[in-house]
Chains A and B, each alone.
Chain A
Amino acid sequence: MDYALHILIFVGIYAILAVSLDLIVGHGGFLSIAHGAFFGLGAYASALMAVQLGAPFLVGILCGMAVAAIVSLLVSLPSLRLHGDFFVVASFGFQIIAFSIFNNWMELTRGPLGIPGIPQPEVLGWQVDSNVEFVVLVTVIATMTYLVVWRITTSPFGRVLHAIREDEVVAKAMGKNTLRFKVTVFAVSAALAASAGGLYAHYITYIDPTSFTIMESILIISMVIIGGAGRLWGPLIGAIVLVTLPELLRFVGLPSSMAASVRQIVYGVLLVVMMMLRPRGLVGTYAFGR
């Protein structure tokens, strides 16, 4: 039972990550492979706040979101002027720089040793210390994330975003400052990813850089693409599929040294198959057309 709850918590955390990335990919129409970095920023910021300063859970998470949003400007302001493939490479580059910092800034992050002893969350006097309670907490935060994304995408702001996705020149001709829209949505998306990072850190109670590698970014983008970009429940379905599918491998009884590789092969093959047969994903509405 605890195992099922554990899976449920991970589905929730990844659903937050995937739906926030979908803001950029499915609604903004530009591909970013750096979400693992923002996930990590949130995790490190809230873990350090809690361990070093004894800050409460909510303060830590909010700080993480603020840090991620500010750092996202460093990435998006220069690189969103780039187009298509070049932006993808720049986002890759940022992911690698971020991992280097997590892994090498010993004084702050303790590098590969990681940060142990992150306290379990306490929200306004409610001590969350069982998996059942944690499922409730994750569900609440995931629901809030979904409401935020839903509100953004159905607002006039979201309509401009869709216009940029379909044809940036037309959006510009309508007098919209497209760079400002893209930078804003990138910051919102980074902040939402950071909230998932805070949840992750306080759930596992230990973080190290290996959780925030480029493979993590590829996993999150796969969830968006396989579930379906541009539709609210697409990333949720992607998160459910990609979190539970590898768990099935556990019952096949693979040795753990092979399990990691097999899991990656599953992601890779799924990505290829979807792109060949159904690029819009399982339930998506947007297939990256011009």
Chain B
Amino acid sequence: MPVQFVINGIAAGAAIALVAMGFGLIYTTTRVFHMAHGAVYLAGGYVAYACIDTLGLGAPTAVCCAIIASALLGVTIERCFYRPLRQKQAPAVVVLLCSLGLLVAIQNLIALAFGNQTLMLRESGQDAVFDVLGGRITLPQVIIVGVSIVVALAMWAGLRLTTTGRIIRAVASDPDLANAVGLPRDRALLIVAAAGSAVAGLAGVLVGYEQDLTPMMGFHGLLLGIVAAIIGGAGSVGGTLLGGFLVGLAMHLGVWKLPTQWQQAIVFIVLIVFLLTRPQGILGKRTRTATI
């Protein structure tokens, strides 16, 4: 039944889009290929788990804790690793490798603390289910799709309509010039790290709530998010949201005809097709001029 695959694809795509929007915001502004974003996303889910399971807090408190903890982690990474590297004018590859090292280290620290097994954020059981055009959509899926659209609107409005947003866009287009004309570059980068990481943490909680948590989720979520950001056009919030849905749909419509285990391969084949034919993404303007 294709309708069901479309619904599952959109729900999965919404979660991917949340990771992608945070990644895209940080990537376009700080120009760091922020692999550690996957660790921040993972941390969100596990902080929520620790709050609920270990500390016995209620769900709303747990979500707030997770978002704050993720934002703090993102800010710490920006402040303690990316900023010193930027001051040394380290080449992009060095920053990327540093970020990759952070991802591997943090993901495994979490695996060490919580174990490699699958954890549930809630009792598995009956969710409210709605019928849509002959398919079924669960309440958690509705929440994820709703949150992703709200976050996209908020991010768009924040970047377009506020003064801070204008400063962030100025820094994104030319960090040195922004600095030279007296804009608070370093503060803008910290705000971007906090906002992008908060969204990633929220995504971690929602995915943990809709499905479950495993440490490998960090890597997988990150890769899908990067793919969505590239396909959508990393500079555009709407494009990234669209990219997320497209990745989710590709995964789930692929499963309609192929065995599930090929999902990841399908995503990366879509990516490679995009990289070759339209590297700037669906809605992206031409990316930074090729730095040959």
Chain A residues near B (Cβ < 8 Å): 31, 78-79, 81-86, 88-90, 92-94, 96-97, 100-101, 103-104, 168-169, 172, 214-215, 218, 221-222, 225, 257-258, 261-262, 264-265, 267-272, 275-276, 279, 287-290
B63 contacts the other chain (CB 8 A): no
B62 in contact (CB, < 8 A): no
State in angstroms the CA–CA spacing of A97 and B273 once bound together: 14
Which chain A residues lie closer than 8 Å to B91 at the CB level? 279, 287-290
Considering the chains assembled together, what is the distance between the CA atoms of A105 and B226 in angstroms? Answer: 26
B: residues with CB less than 8 A from A are: 33, 81, 84-85, 90-98, 100-109, 111-112, 115-116, 219, 223, 226-227, 230, 259, 261-262, 264-265, 268-269, 271-272, 275-276, 279, 290-292
Contact present for A100 and B264 (CB under 8 Å): yes
**In the complex the two chains form, is B104's CB within 8 Å of A100's CB?**
no
Asked whether, in the complex, the Cβ of B102 is within 8 Å of the Cβ of A276, the reply is: no
A-B contact pairs, 9 of them (CB 8 A): A78-B275, A83-B290, A172-B292, A261-B112, A268-B100, A268-B103, A275-B85, A275-B101, A289-B91
Most central of B90, B272, B279, B290 by chain A CB within 10 Å: B272
**A82-B275, A82-B279 given as contacts; is B261 within 8 A of A103 (CB)?**
yes
Q: How far is the CA of A210 from the CA of B96 in the complex (A)?
A: 25
Residues of A within 8 A of B101 (CB): 222, 267-272, 275
Q: Is the CB of B259 within 8 A of A89?
A: no
Chain B residues contacting A276 (CB-CB under 8 Å) are: 81, 84-85, 98
Q: A264 and B108: CB pair below 8 A? A: yes
Closest CB of chain A to B229's CB: distance in Å?
A: 10
Chain A residues lying within 8 Å of B103, measured Cβ to Cβ, are 268
**Does A225 contact B275, Cβ atoms closer than 8 Å?**
no
With beta carbons under 8 angstroms apart, the residue of B105, B265, B268 that contacts A269 is: B105
Nearest-Cβ distance from residue A147 to partner chain B, whole angstroms: 28
Cβ contacts under 8 Å, A279 to chain B: 90-91, 94
Known: A83-B291, A85-B33. A271 touches B98 (CB 8 A): yes
Residues from chain B with Cβ under 8 Å of A269 in the complex: 101, 105
